[in-house]
A and B are shown apart, each in its own frame.
Chain A
Amino acid sequence: MYQLTDVTKTYTGKRTVHALQSVDLEIGDGELVAIQGPTGGGKSTLLQMLGGLDRPTSGRVVLAGDDLARLSDGALTKARAKNLGFVFQHYNLIPTLTAVENVGTALVPLGVPAADRARRSLAALESVGLGERADHLPGELSGGQQQRVAIARALVKEPTVLLADEPTGNLDEATRDEIVELLEVLWKEQGLTIVMVTHDSAVARRAQRRLRIASGKVSEAA
């Protein structure tokens, strides 16, 4: 699925930060990968490279044959719209849209007609157990429910990859377990490739493969 070759990301400013240093990494189709590491170690930067949200300073990030580092902005946007699902620590839902409308935002760039969009969004919400809360605003939902909506938004377009940045970081233990179980079920049922950044070792332990990143360098965790 992913082939990263000699990927470097350097942030220049008042202080130069080498967020990724010569990262070589391969992630296979249908893998559930957890990335752990200390704060500032480069976890989120690596996830952004994988998600085409940022470009590496050097190196190649190949997803299904396309080098994301060299795609045009438009092509990169299309790749994100079609193949990549994102789940964020803070859910990042649109506060003025209902749960089903939030899920529908992921289908807008694909040009899915409104009726079809509503049907698929509702189905996605039902798949994460929130069908009855479809018309609720994010402010009317708990943290766990909001994250479920975010997961439904990531999956409604049937992506090949799901990238999750601290998906349980804002949740209590019980809710954390619910979300991790949900992700495991979706991974198994849909054959997704999931790359998940987490601080939580309990969550990481449930992954098929664990990577550790520190000072911009990636290594396989024991």
Chain B
Amino acid sequence: MFLTYLRRELRHRRKQTTVVAVGLAVAIALVMVVSSVSSGVRDAQASVLESVYGVGTDVTVTQAGAPGGGGGPGRFEFDAESGEADEEGTRSLDQSQLTVERGSSSFDDTALTSITGVEHVSGAAATLTLSSTSFSGEMPDFEAMREQMESGGQPGAAPGEGTQDGSDDGTTGGADGAGGSAFEVDSFTVTGVDPAVTAVGPLTTLEVADGRGLEDGDTEAAVLDATYAETAEIAVGDTIDVGGTDVEVVGTVGSTTGDGVATASDVYVPLTLAQELADLDGQVTDVYVAVDSADNVDAVADAIAAELPDASVSTSSDLAGDVTGSLSTASSLVSTLGTWLSIVVLAAAFGLAILFTVSGVNRRTRELGTLKAIGWSKGRVVGQVAGESVVQGLIGGVAGVALGALAVLGINLAGITLTGASGAGGFSFGGPDAGGQAGGGQLPDGGASGGGPGAGGGGPFGQVADAASSAVDVVLSAPVSVWIVVAAVGLAVLGGLLAGVVGGWRAARLRPAEALRSLA
């Protein structure tokens, strides 16, 4: 009787059932979309972190650079005789530097031994992350220029602008043959890795695109990020200038986290080579730590922090908070707007279900009063009303799951690309094309010291580019897990149950005599 009565009632009140079910369905679909997108954004963040820190890294250990110390925009110094001069006196200059990235500093690699000894640490890998910056260009013969100026040139004229008689006959070389200068600044990131350790660290997300990867025993070999190699037009078998030393490129690698996704570094070399080239023997900048169980991550982080008081210890959840870019915006949107919107719509749907149920009970006063009069207990009447509401909720839940699944499918098909960058990615210089600019006599006097810090080159040299080296594009993939479906249907049933409890409470309060009298 319960099911027959319930089925007939819901069919009889088709319009009301539809409105309540649709209301709950929309709310459930929204909750499902928000949960799925939220999960997708979390996965994307994990993907970004994996591309930067490697798969399976639970804790990273770094050391912040001392104020004013550490790496950073290097200082290129040239004296008057630097480089090679051609017949017109133009000097070709070329210098490379390999330094620890600004904002971080290196520390002794004995830290790796200490970390490996911490309980619950299942693996650890140390790397040395460096920034290679090369400066090349042409400068005029400043001595000849000064001599010309002293013998009657315009004192205020910039080098190469004029001669004693105002003609251009007195040119003194330079990039444009008229006293000008041209500089090119190129920078890329270099990571020294231990090829023997592949279970944790950056190597876990690398796959060989061409040639081969670094192997245990390699001493002078470099592997390039495939995207960087293409941009820089370097192929396997070529050499690359790393800190002034030509290193053979033995292969290119891509990221396992997605097609076309840049890896954490432009160039990978054996750790020992990186230390040697940067003159940082026995030094590392990062240690990647894998923990035996997710439950022990915080304990391990605390233990490492206690063991290495100067180090910055970050867990994977700390790192997730460092992810910036549109991924961060999406995460923030989902967690704030999405959540609140879900709550509001869910509350509205629950309210609607309660309103309709109560109004249904009011309309059925005589019917329910009659059932009580003929001996139906309070519990049976309440159960009937609540059962109808729960089934309405269930219908809404199932419809909501279908609607939500469609919406999530739409989002996945849309292929929304989010850009994420790890805030811990440090700093990098402007790109290879940014530094070259003709100087118009603004270079400081070319004295014995070789002049200023290179500011005359213009461009962003010396400026900080925000974590550009670790920016990763991730296509948003919102998963629909069984738990999301169960939770969505559960929420809808809860809405129905709430409505049923309120409606049932009202039905329970009906006294048969009053119910019958009021409508007699």
**Which residues of chain A have a CB within 8 Å of any CB of chain B?**
44, 48, 51, 53-54, 73-74, 77-78, 80-82, 84, 86, 88-90, 92, 94-97, 101, 104-106, 108-110, 114, 117, 153-154, 165
Contact = CB atoms under 8 A, between A and B. Distances in A.
B517 A114 contact: no
Interface string B151-194: 00000000000000000000000000000000000000000000
B376 interface: yes
Given A54-B512, A80-B375, A96-B12, 5 more contacts: A73-B378, A77-B377, A82-B375, A106-B375, A114-B1
B374 A153 contact: yes
Nearest to B369: A92
B4 A44 contact: no
B12 A108 contact: no
B374 A105 contact: yes
A81 B4 contact: no
Nearest to B9: A96
A105 B376 CA distance: 8
Give me the 8 closest cross-chain CB pairs, A-B, nearest first.
A81-B375, A96-B8, A54-B513, A109-B375, A92-B370, A53-B513, A96-B12, A80-B375
Interface of B: 1, 4-5, 8-9, 11-12, 366-367, 370-378, 380, 511-513, 516-517, 519-520
A96 to B, nearest CB: 4
Contacts of B377: 74, 77, 109
A81 B374 CA distance: 6
Q: Does more than half of chain B's interface fall in helix, strand or loop, or is it mixed?
A: helix
Contacts of B513: 48, 53-54
Contacts of A101: 1, 4-5
B362 to A, nearest CB: 16
B366 A90 contact: yes
Given A74-B377, A95-B12, A105 B371 contact: yes
Contacts of A51: 373
A44 B375 contact: no
A78 B5 CA distance: 21
A94 B5 contact: yes
9 contacts: A48-B516, A51-B373, A54-B511, A73-B378, A86-B374, A94-B371, A106-B375, A110-B375, A117-B1
A106 B371 CA distance: 8
Contacts of B520: 44, 88-90, 165
A63 to B, nearest CB: 14
Contacts of A153: 374
A88 B375 CA distance: 15
A114 B3 CA distance: 12
A73 B334 CA distance: 52
Contact of A53 (B8, B380, B512, B519): B512
A214 to B, nearest CB: 19
Contacts of A165: 520
A86 B366 CA distance: 14
Q: Which of A89, A97, A101 has the most CB of B within 10 A?
A: A97
Nearest to A86: B373
A198 to B, nearest CB: 14
A44 to B, nearest CB: 7
B516 A108 contact: no
A196 B11 CA distance: 36
A53 B371 CA distance: 12
A101 B377 CA distance: 18
Contacts of A73: 378
Nearest to A77: B377
Contacts of A90: 366, 519-520
Given A77-B377, A86-B373, A97 B512 contact: no
Contacts of B366: 90, 92
Given A53-B516, A88-B516, A108-B380, A94 B375 contact: no
A96 B377 CA distance: 20
Nearest to A73: B378
Contacts of B516: 48, 53, 88, 92
A77 B12 contact: no
B479 to A, nearest CB: 42
A97 B370 contact: no
Contacts of A81: 374-376
Contacts of B8: 96-97
Nearest to B366: A92
A165 B372 CA distance: 16
Contacts of B519: 90
Nearest to A101: B4
Contacts of B367: 92, 94-95
B512 A105 contact: no
Given A89-B520, A92-B367, A109-B380, A80 B5 contact: no
B278 to A, nearest CB: 84
Given A53-B513, A90-B519, A92-B370, A108 B376 contact: yes
B375 A78 contact: yes
A95 B371 CA distance: 13
Q: Which of A88, A108, A153 has the most CB of B within 10 A?
A: A108
A143 B29 CA distance: 47
A65 B210 CA distance: 100
A201 B367 CA distance: 29
Given A54-B513, A73-B378, A108 B373 contact: no
Q: Which of B366, B367, B373, B511 has the most CB of A within 10 A?
A: B373
Contacts of A82: 375
Nearest to B372: A77
Contacts of B511: 53-54
A86 B380 CA distance: 19
